[in-house]
A and B are shown apart, each in its own frame.
Chain A
Amino acid sequence: EDQVTQSPEALRLQEGESSSLNCSYTVSGLRGLFWYRQDPGKGPEFLFTLYSAGEEKEKERLKATLTKKESFLHITAPKPEDSATYLCAVQAELRGMRFGAGTRLTVKP
Chain B
Amino acid sequence: KAGVTQTPRYLIKTRGQQVTLSCSPISGHRSVSWYQQTPGQGLQFLFEYFSETQRNKGNFPGRFSGRQFSNSRSEMNVSTLELGDSALYLCASSFGTGDSQPQHFGDGTRLSIL
Contacts and interface: CB of A to CB of B under 8 A. Distances in A.
A93 interface: yes
Contacts of B103: 34, 46, 97
B33 A97 contact: yes
Q: Which among B43, B57, B99, B105 has the highest number of chain A CB atoms within 10 Å?
A: B43
A43 B42 contact: no
Contact of A34 (B44, B102, B107): B102
B107 A42 contact: yes
A43 B106 contact: yes
A79 B81 CA distance: 42
A97 B55 CA distance: 13
B8 interface: no
B13 interface: no
Contact of A98 (B45, B92, B107, B108): B45
B100 A43 contact: no
A43 B90 contact: yes
Nearest to A102: B42
A99 B56 contact: no
B100 A96 contact: no
Nearest to B48: A96
Contacts of B46: 96
A4 to B, nearest CB: 9
B67 interface: no
B100 A41 contact: no
